[in-house]
Amino acid sequence: MKLTRAAMLALLTFALVGCDINISGGDDSEDDEESAPIPVEIAAVRRGDINAIYTGTAALEVEAQADVLSKVAGEVTQLLVEEGDSVDKGQVLARLDGDRLRLEVQRQVANVRRLEQDYQRNLELHEKGLVSAGAFEGMKYELEAMRAALRLAQLELSYTDIRAPFAGVVSERHIRQGSTLTQNQRLFTVTDLDPLIAYLHIPEREFDRIRPGQPAAVEADALPGQYYEASVARISPVVDPMTGTFKATVEVADDSGRLKPGMFARVGIVFDRHTNALLVPRAALVDSDTDPALFVVTDGVAERRSVEVGYADGADIEITTGLDGSESIIVVGQHSLKDGGAVAVVQPDAPDTRTVVEQPAAPDNIS
């Protein structure tokens, strides 16, 4: 059975203390116990870049969604798409029976041709003074009205082709082949899934930090460990006095199409970055809430250093004062130490040599 790191450290501590007791003939002297070095693990302080991140949660939404309605009545003769199909703007989704409307167009075309011939004949007579100006003007207006009626009939005929209002995905289909529709009946719902939107309601104290264009990352609860690039699209110019928050709109890019509207997600907005900062594992801190400190190893002795911290990002935290970057800090075993106590540096557990199916690395959530 393979021992965990914590178990091995505990056993090593017990063994060291036990050896000291045996050497002294079984005496439980406090001086002997205090002199026994405590096993610890160390890590070097490193330099790197660290982001300042505001983190919030939101349900993913779409910015564009529309119901496609029938503008004319008729029977559905062709159903060309199904739910989940991608469509382009203007693409025909279905066709209605247009026989009656085609006949109406033909009738209006005939009327226009007749009036155009009458107009040309009366124009010649009007120029010769044989038709009064009033009668000629009346015929001219009648021809214009008939042309408008033709255009209206052609427009209504075009409505028998049901078209997508914008590019997106057919999220709902509400009709069947052969259905008889009435005017303004709902036929389809088209949703634009690119981009998805997350609306964050952020405390007003962050107002000066969050700006449009800042990079962000999104992780959905349904897809743990998968991060998607995002950015702040816009910021509301007002603060809600009831909640003390303002709204930030974050646009999420998802070329894979795996993110779906309604998924609950965690959103991180990068509002600042420190370069070449001193970084240590956040777990190395002791008394992090009241008096942040670290233990530094010098010649086998633990020295407690009070520090000031800066940004924290994931497992790392920035140290702004208290270290110069050359130290080795204690990262395991520090919570049982006292300033000036003796320590024994041990190596971390050797890597497990058993065969493991390697998983792909999670993408960097912050650029």
Q: Where are the domains of the chain?
A: 5-43+279-345, 53-63+193-274, 66-189
365 pLDDT higher than 80: no
Distances (CA, A) of 13 to 18, 240, 267, 339: 8, 56, 43, 18
CA 107 from chain centre, in angstroms, equals: 55
Going by pLDDT thresholds of 50, 70 and 90, the confidence category of residue 129 is low
127 pLDDT higher than 80: no
Going by pLDDT thresholds of 50, 70 and 90, the confidence category of residue 118 is confident
Residue reference for tokens 């894979």: 256
Going by pLDDT thresholds of 50, 70 and 90, the confidence category of residue 247 is very high
Do domains 5-43+279-345 and 53-63+193-274 share one topology? The answer is: no
pLDDT value at position 32?
52
pLDDT value at position 258?
92
Counting Cβ atoms within 10 Å, is residue 68 exposed (0-12), middle (13-18) or buried (19+)? buried
23 pLDDT higher than 70: no
**For the ranges 35-39, 99-103, 237-241, 272-276, which has the lowest average pLDDT?**
35-39
Q: Span 224-234, mean pLDDT?
A: 95
CATH dotted code for 53-63+193-274: 2.40.30.170
What strands, in cross-sheet order, belong to the sheet with 180-181?
161-163, 92-96, 74-79, 180-181
**For the ranges 130-144, 168-182, 311-325, which has the lowest average pLDDT?**
130-144
Percentage with pLDDT > 90 across the chain: 60
13 pLDDT higher than 60: no
The whole-angstrom separation of Cα 204 and Cα 210 is: 10
The whole-angstrom separation of Cα 274 and Cα 127 is: 86
Going by pLDDT thresholds of 50, 70 and 90, the confidence category of residue 121 is confident
Taking all residues of the chain, what is their mean pLDDT, rounded to a whole number? 84
What is the phi-psi region of residue 322: left when phi exceeds 0, alpha when psi lies from -120 to 50, beta otherwise? left
363 pLDDT higher than 70: no
Q: Span 131-149, mean pLDDT?
A: 81
74 pLDDT higher than 60: yes
* Cα angle 80-181-148, degrees, rounded to a multiple of 5: 95
DSSP of 209-253, one letter per residue? T--TT-EEEEEETTSTT-EEEEEEEEE-SS-BTTTTEEEEEEEE-
Q: Span 240-257, mean pLDDT?
A: 94
What is the distance between the terminal CA atoms of the chain, rounded to a whole angstrom? 41
- Report the SS3 class of residue 353: coil
Q: Span 109-115, mean pLDDT?
A: 90
Looking at domain 66-189, which CATH architecture does it have? Beta Barrel (2.40)
28 pLDDT higher than 70: no
Distances (CA, A) of 25 to 19, 22, 32, 34: 10, 5, 12, 17
Output 196 or 127, whichever has higher pLDDT.
196
366 pLDDT higher than 60: no
114 pLDDT higher than 80: yes
Buried residues in 91-114 as b, exposed as e (16+ CB within 10 A): bebbbbbbeebeebbeebeebbee
Which two structure tokens, joined as six digits, stand for 327? Answer: 């130290």
Fold of 5-43+279-345: 2.40.420
pLDDT value at position 22?
43
Q: Span 128-138, mean pLDDT?
A: 71
* Cα angle 56-57-61, degrees, rounded to a multiple of 5: 125
pLDDT value at position 1?
43
Which two structure tokens, joined as six digits, stand for 215? Answer: 């990079």
> Taking the CA of residue 165 as centre, how many other CA atoms within 13 Å lie in the half-sphere pointing to its CB?
13
